[in-house]
Amino acid sequence: MKYLVIALIALVSLGIGSVGHDAYTIDSDDSVIELLEQFGEDFNEKRPKIDIDASADLGEDIIRNGFSNRKGLKKSKRQSKHFVCTSCHNLEREDPDLSINDPQARLEYTVEKGIPFLQATTLYGAVNRETYYNGDYDKKYGELVAPAREDIREAIQLCAQECAQGRALKEWEIESILAYLWTIDLKVKDLNLSDLELQSIQSAMGNEVLKKEGVKLIKRKYLTASDATFIPPPVDRKIGTGLSGDQENGKLIYDNSCLHCHYQKRYSFLHLDDNKMSFRYLDKAAETYSRHSLYQVARYGTYSKYGKKSYMPNYTMEKMSNQQLADLRAYIKYRALL
């Protein structure tokens, strides 16, 4: 990375091509897409069609509440009986460094921001990503993933039906959701660019020779795909992950992740809270091979069944490390014994 920046600066100062781009000066509040468009990247395919009665406000309603009231029309039917998009996705930035996946850094960052720590990737910056349902998600959703891999509209529709276990979205709903996602796209300030990097991007912009390097530099600052690796639960549940756990970190996971859906049965039939009963229940099952074992539910999730469609999404390795799983186990054990 350093070399790329130095090379860019060096080439520009050698006078290769014109220096800078007069018409456009990068501002930290600019959207990353706007910046990339200055380099000739094309995002038009992803832009919402708002001539069909769609809007970002309607999209936000659907994402947060599952339905929307369009002016002059009847309230739309709830998209899912079980979930809303925010059951599983944040709408805010959730990583301090967008160029890497680090579940522990994410946990600390989300706790600090007062937002939950969840199985699905934040929708903040979703329009900036180039592929969806990456990695092992084709194991879970099979052929359904193919059309959604490179098409954000298909990704939204797949999630509404498969992840949220609800009805299909109408076209105006998809376009509205997409319009809202465009309001939570990445901004230049999210990329943590150094002054030197900003300068070299600015210089590369109007320069035919350096353009490609400029785009590369920008795209190295965030993940253009959210990877997903499914891992099985520990083989011997008595031994568990084999790692020694940190209960304090485990408490952060329990409070910010498990309780998000289970407290007062918010998005599930199982109530969990801060009382001994919850910890005893989880502790008793943890080392067994039953469907109540936290190892089992964390790594495999639960499956929806006929008549009981609500299910728990699994945590991929990118969303919960084995160390974090050990931390959660340690916290539950500790609280069950208190």
> Could you say whether residue 257 binds ligand HEC (CB under 6 A)?
yes
C-alpha–C-alpha distance, residues 281 and 272, integer Å: 9
If one counts every other C-beta atom within 10 angstroms of the C-beta of residue 138, the result is 16
C-alpha–C-alpha distance, residues 266 and 133, integer Å: 26
C-alpha–C-alpha distance, residues 13 and 200, integer Å: 10
> Could you say whether residue 297 binds ligand HEC (CB under 6 A)?
yes
C-alpha–C-alpha distance, residues 298 and 316, integer Å: 8
| Stretch in the footprint of ligand HEC (CB under 6 A) among 31-39, 46-54, 113-121, 212-220 | 113-121
Could you tell me which residues come within 8 angstroms of residue 175 by beta carbon, excluding any fewer than 6 positions away? Answer: 48, 49, 50, 52, 54, 59
> By rule CB under 6 A, what count of residues binds ligand HEC?
49
If one counts every other C-beta atom within 10 angstroms of the C-beta of residue 171, the result is 13
The nearest distance, CB 139 to ligand HEC, in angstroms, is 12
Query: Could you say which of 310, 324, 330, 333 contacts ligand HEC (CB under 6 A)?
Result: 310
- The residue among 119 and 203 lying less far from ligand HEC, judged by its C-beta, is 119
| Stretch in the footprint of ligand HEC (CB under 6 A) among 17-25, 29-37, 38-46, 287-295 | 287-295
The nearest distance, CB 143 to ligand HEC, in angstroms, is 16
> Could you say whether residue 178 binds ligand HEC (CB under 6 A)?
no
If one counts every other C-beta atom within 10 angstroms of the C-beta of residue 30, the result is 15
> Could you say whether residue 85 binds ligand HEC (CB under 6 A)?
yes
> Could you say whether residue 127 binds ligand HEC (CB under 6 A)?
no
C-alpha–C-alpha distance, residues 298 and 304, integer Å: 15
- The residue among 137 and 182 lying less far from ligand HEC, judged by its C-beta, is 137
> Could you say whether residue 101 binds ligand HEC (CB under 6 A)?
no
Q: Retrieve residue 184's tokens.
A: 């939570």
> Could you say whether residue 182 binds ligand HEC (CB under 6 A)?
no
Query: Could you say which of 31, 38, 101, 226 contacts ligand HEC (CB under 6 A)?
Result: 226
C-alpha–C-alpha distance, residues 28 and 233, integer Å: 43
> Could you say whether residue 330 binds ligand HEC (CB under 6 A)?
no
- The residue among 212 and 291 lying less far from ligand HEC, judged by its C-beta, is 291
Q: Retrieve residue 36's tokens.
A: 């990339």
C-alpha–C-alpha distance, residues 132 and 123, integer Å: 11
The nearest distance, CB 67 to ligand HEC, in angstroms, is 11
- The residue among 302 and 323 lying less far from ligand HEC, judged by its C-beta, is 302
**Residues 190 and 98 sit within 8 Å (Cβ to Cβ):** yes
Burial of 228 (C-beta count, 10 Å sphere; 0-12/13-18/19+): buried
> Could you say whether residue 184 binds ligand HEC (CB under 6 A)?
no
The nearest distance, CB 221 to ligand HEC, in angstroms, is 17
Output 303-310 pairs: Cβ under 8 A, ≥24 positions apart.
304/165, 309/81, 309/82, 309/165, 310/82, 310/83, 310/165, 310/267, 310/268, 310/269
C-alpha–C-alpha distance, residues 146 and 131, integer Å: 10
- The residue among 5 and 126 lying less far from ligand HEC, judged by its C-beta, is 126
Query: Could you say which of 83, 124, 182, 295 contacts ligand HEC (CB under 6 A)?
Result: 83
Interface with ligand HEC (CB under 6 A): 63, 79, 83, 85, 87-89, 118-121, 126, 129, 132-134, 137, 152, 155-156, 159-160, 163-164, 177, 226, 228, 253, 257-258, 260-262, 267-270, 282, 291-292, 294, 297-298, 302, 310-313, 328
